């Protein structure tokens, strides 16, 4: 049985926690390459608090404590990224576990599985495919994503790095 995960929207009160997480070595390795200041976190994430912003930003919560950050969006909202992926439809998720003590406990798999069921298809009911891209060497994230039902689609290059693109289809017949 998967641990129960809840989700809540990002708020301004979360910027200090994001700042801490984004400067953690485990997050800097694959997600936030350069150190980031609290002012830069504020400038980057404050626009995302608006309902008009095309990306939805959330925290994953385990036992009432935030442990991971997720963001989701339609590929149509970000056409340059969609073109890089060679896709013209679907939604995408980006995520990281920010609390080091929560790694290796199956929470990544639980988070993704429950995010798909509780949040993603509610936000985007007309969509049938979800995509994730991980740095090809990020085995932890790749394993969690595959364990939650994502399948390998292809590799691509983003900013000089080999990335692995995974897909989750609501209907398994979409893979046929």
Q: Where are the domains of the chain?
A: 5-175
**pLDDT surpasses 90 at 170:** no
pTM: 0.90
d(CA 13, CA 1) in angstroms, rounded, equals 32
**pLDDT surpasses 60 at 174:** no
d(CA 118, CA 7) in angstroms, rounded, equals 9
- Binned at pLDDT 50, 70 and 90, residue 143 comes out as very high
Classify residue 4 by its DSSP letter. P
d(CA 118, CA 95) in angstroms, rounded, equals 16
Class of domain 5-175: alpha beta
- Binned at pLDDT 50, 70 and 90, residue 39 comes out as very high
95 burial via Cβ count (<10 Å: 0-12, 13-18, 19+): buried
SS3 call for 165: strand
Q: Distance of CA 131 to CAs 3, 38, 54, 77, 92, Å?
A: 23, 30, 16, 14, 5
């Amino acid at each position: 049985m998967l641990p129960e995960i809840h989700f809540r929207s990002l708020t301004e009160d979360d910027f200090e926690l994001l700042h801490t997480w984004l400067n953690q070595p485990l997050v800097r390795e694959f997600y936030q390459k350069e150190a980031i200041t609290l002012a830069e976190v504020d400038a980057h994430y404050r626009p995302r608090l608006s309902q008009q912003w095309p990306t939805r930003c959330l925290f994953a919560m385990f036992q009432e404590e935030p442990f991971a950050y997720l963001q989701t969006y339609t590929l149509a909202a970000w056409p340059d990224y969609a073109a890089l992926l060679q896709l013209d439809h679907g939604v995408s998720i980006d995520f990281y576990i920010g609390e080091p003590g929560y790694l290796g406990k199956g929470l990544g798999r639980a988070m993704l599985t429950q995010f798909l069921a509780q949040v993603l298809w509610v936000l985007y009911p007309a969509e049938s495919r979800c995509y994730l891209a991980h740095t090809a060497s990020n085995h932890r994230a790749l394993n969690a994503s595959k364990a939650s039902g994502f399948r390998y689609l292809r590799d691509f290059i983003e900013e000089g790095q080999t990335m692995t693109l995974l897909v989750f289809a609501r209907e398994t017949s979409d893979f046929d």
